[in-house]
Amino acid sequence: MGPDYYKPGNTPCLIYSFVVNSSNRIEIYTVGFLALMRYLISCHGIELKARVWLISYGFVIAPILALYLFPLVTRDANPLPSQLICVPFLKPKPETFVLSVINPFIFIIPCWISTYCYFVIGIKAYKKLNLMRNEAVATNDTFLIKAIKKQKLNLIFQLVVVFTVFNFCFMPVYVTIILRITRGYKRSPIADAIMSELIEVSRSIDPIITLIFQPELNHEFKVFLTKLKANIKSFIKKLFK
């Protein structure tokens, strides 16, 4: 890459700005949409047809694509002072100032939605584990009590990971974008590099969270297996008495 590769308004800069910025926003909105789906299904019993979910997802993604297609069409993309990445709305014109204000909230909204939904699901699962623990204590089932304690610790760990990924990784990015708009703050090259890596780390973990974090299913299935093992163990003991 030559020195003019990231020249303001240059084609490589425009393409990089559109592809990178739109793809990472679409990814976190996809994760947020899936989190909201699971929240509505597991906490409120709202189950819709697949077509309705897909249409709703399309309505969520379309404005994001439009938002980042606009600077591609108007050739409004500039490299950061570090020259590491190109971004849109870095030097907003009066007609694009509103879009530059919306830009950081494109990060904030899905991060907070995902955090809220997963925490509500996790708290609901934790309460169910408490009820199961009370039943196990009442029957003096030590085997089941240990299994439930392990599930609780696992659930707490997952919630900590969720909070870290959706807040710690993205918060510096949208906070510095807001500071840039309000106070003209400029990130240092090191800060640019760190924040770019934080986003990539989060993007790599997001799909794993979506697949693994299923306390509304996970804990019930494991407790069912635990109870089944305990019943089999009890049955075997009775046979040999």
- pLDDT tens, position by position, for the chain (241 residues)? 545 666 777 888 889 889 988 988 898 899 899 889 889 988 888 888 888 888 999 999 999 999 999 988 888 888 887 778 888 888 877 778 888 888 888 888 998 999 999 999 889 888 888 888 888 888 787 887 888 888 888 888 888 888 888 888 888 888 888 888 888 888 888 888 888 888 878 877 777 777 666 655 454 445 544 555 666 666 666 666 5
Pairing relation of β-strands 86-88 and 77-79? Answer: antiparallel
List of residues 6+ apart from 36 with CB closer than 8 A: 113, 117
Handedness of CA 36, 38, 40, 43 (dihedral sign): negative
What is the maximal distance between C-alpha atoms in the chain?
Answer: 85
End-to-end CA, the chain: 79
Residue range 11-239, CATH number:
1.20.1070.10
Bridge partners of 86, per DSSP, are 79
